[in-house]
Amino acid sequence: MQKEELIQNVGETPVAPAAKRSDSIHDDTTAKIFIASSVSYFVIVGLVALIIAAKFSMPSFLGSVQYLTYGRMRPLHVNGMLFGWLLAADMGLMFYVVPRLCGVKLWSEKLGIATGILWNAIILGAVVSLVMGWNQGLEYAELPTLLDVGVVVAWIMFGANIFGTIATRKYNAMYVSLWYAMGTILWTAFVYLTGNFATLFTTGVNQANLNWMYVHNAVGLIFTPVGLAIAYYFIPRVSNNPLYSHKLSMIGFWSLAFVYVWTGAHHMLHGPISQWLQTITIVFSVMLLIPVWAAVYNFISTMRGQWHQLRENVSLKFLMSGVVFYLLTCFQGPMHSLRAVNAIVSKTDWIPGHAHMAVLGAFSFFAIAGTYHVVPLIFKTKLYSEALANWSFWLFLIGGLGFFVTLWLGGFWQGWQWNNPAIPFIDTVVALKPVWHVRLGSGFLMFGGIITFAYNILATILGPKGEEMEANVAVA
């Protein structure tokens, strides 16, 4: 078959026949360590999230135990979800994706394993320090300095391995996921150093401004690029259908690179920062629609003629739902940066609704999809239960929607009340009680999703493998 013919037919027929799993040149030990540990942390931190949600409905719940108070549980939840679950899962998936896109083995499996051990030590240290109340008091930058240094060292080790693999690649032209992987490593280095070290040496409004640049870029320049790297790899891979346009994906990448870093100050609108800075952040926030639409249009067009696959394929369900949530959350972001909207929703429950849709609805959905796809491959087995995987999807989707929608609406309601000086503040708190009850109910559903996902993955990891599995199938 001629190459051109193959390319034309590539959407209808599998590009490559299924390879025997034993043919893989990849070791994948590092990916296994990161993925297995991140899924375990997802369960633990999910339980912490449920406790926090319960405290909104029942403020005295576990309030007499100092280690379980809101002030200690909330940073544990945030850091645990960001670094224990999501970033670790993303790193594990990068350890799987990058060598395959480069056509070579991981540069150093030993270095990868050492990175995994260090990362787990950091997460366990974070759990102890945050429960004990050792906290720097800055949003997303709560970890003590010693652990921050550990994160920097682990990130250098991760970056060396990924760049080392890319440097030894077989092919000159790099697929877009590799660009996003490299961007993530470089941007994270700068963003993390600024947020966790530079902020310690500033005061007042400058500190708040730097801190919010870090908070927004933690999502925009860490989780967004690595999340898109995963989506750009797994949407074509799982649907066995080539990406709609590689050129468009590169336009999306470079527009994100130029635009995203300037947007963090939109959390400081109407605050004591200069007007020119507020205007700049609004302009760049609205310009975010360019990279977002470039990515979303590409993903949706890739699925043209392939939507029927959603019926059977759980990974695709997570991926495409994640794309929709990505579009929605990235529409919310620019709208939130407009002065008129910001005056209502800023500092309200709308913000956690928006942040959860980005981190859970979009990027965690991408990571879950990737995990469902790669775990059976790297452990040389089959997924433990397709039915359970479907359950996890619906629990996440319904719970997530309940959570996001309730907090957006509740946030608007809260903002309108705060803007009315005739309403005492305590009345605005009492008025939000129904919203927080729905939030708790949605939390139970999402936690159900976490449990079913984690059980399915861990049962797959611990279940029969290779010849043992084939023998079981033959007996059956």
Partner 1 sequence: MTDYTYPSVYFAYFFFFIVFSGAAFFFFKTYKQGYFGKDSEEAKHRMLDDEMGGDYGRKQK
Determine, following the binding rule CB under 8 A, whether residue 4 of this chain makes contact with partner 1. no
Least Å from the CB of residue 221 to partner 1? 8
Residues from 24 through 53 that contact partner 1 (CB under 8 A)? 24-26
Residue 101 binds partner 1, judged by CB under 8 A? yes
Q: How far is Cα of residue 49 from the mean position of the Cα atoms in its chain?
A: 16
Binds partner 1 by CB under 8 A, chosen from 188, 196, 199, 315: 199
Helices marked H in 25-142: 29-57, 70-79, 87-102, 109-132
Identity at 102, one-letter amino acid code: C
| CA distance from start to end of the chain | 39
Residue (16 or 475) nearer to partner 1, CB = 16
Spell out the residues 6+ positions from residue 44 whose beta carbon is closer than 8 angstroms to its own: 80, 84
Residue 234: name the closest of 294, 318, 173 by CA: 318
Q: Is 377 in the site for partner 1 (CB under 8 A)?
A: yes
Binding segment (CB under 8 A) for partner 1, from list 200-208, 312-320, 355-363, 455-463: 200-208
100 lines the binding site for partner 1 (CB under 8 A): yes
Q: Does 21 bind partner 1 (CB under 8 A)?
A: yes
Considering only CA atoms, which of 417, 282, 284 is closest in space to residue 344? 417
Stretch (H or E) spanning 160: helix 145-167
**Contact between 237 and partner 1 per CB under 8 A:** yes
Stretch touching partner 1 by CB under 8 A, among 84-92, 127-135, 256-264, 379-387: 256-264
Q: How far is the CB of 160 from partner 1 (least distance, A)?
A: 18
Burial class (CB in 10 A: 0-12, 13-18, 19+), 290: middle
Shortest distance in whole angstroms from residue 106 CB to partner 1:
11
Q: Report which DSSP code applies to 260.
A: G
Q: Which residue has the tokens 């913000």?
A: 351
* Closer residue to partner 1 in complex, CB, 26/382: 26
**Residue span binding partner 1 (CB under 8 A) among the ranges 82-90, 230-238, 383-391, 447-455:** 230-238
Residues 248 and 241: their CA atoms lie apart, in Å, by 16
Smallest gap, in angstroms, from Cβ of residue 339 to partner 1?
23
d(CA 132, CA 277): 38
Quote the tokens at residue 86.
């999501």
Q: Is 9 in the site for partner 1 (CB under 8 A)?
A: no
- Residues near partner 1, by CB under 8 A: 1, 6-7, 10, 15-17, 19, 21, 23-26, 99-101, 103-105, 170-171, 173-177, 186-187, 190, 194, 198-199, 201-204, 206-207, 210, 213, 233, 236-237, 240, 242-243, 245-247, 250-251, 254, 257-258, 261-262, 377
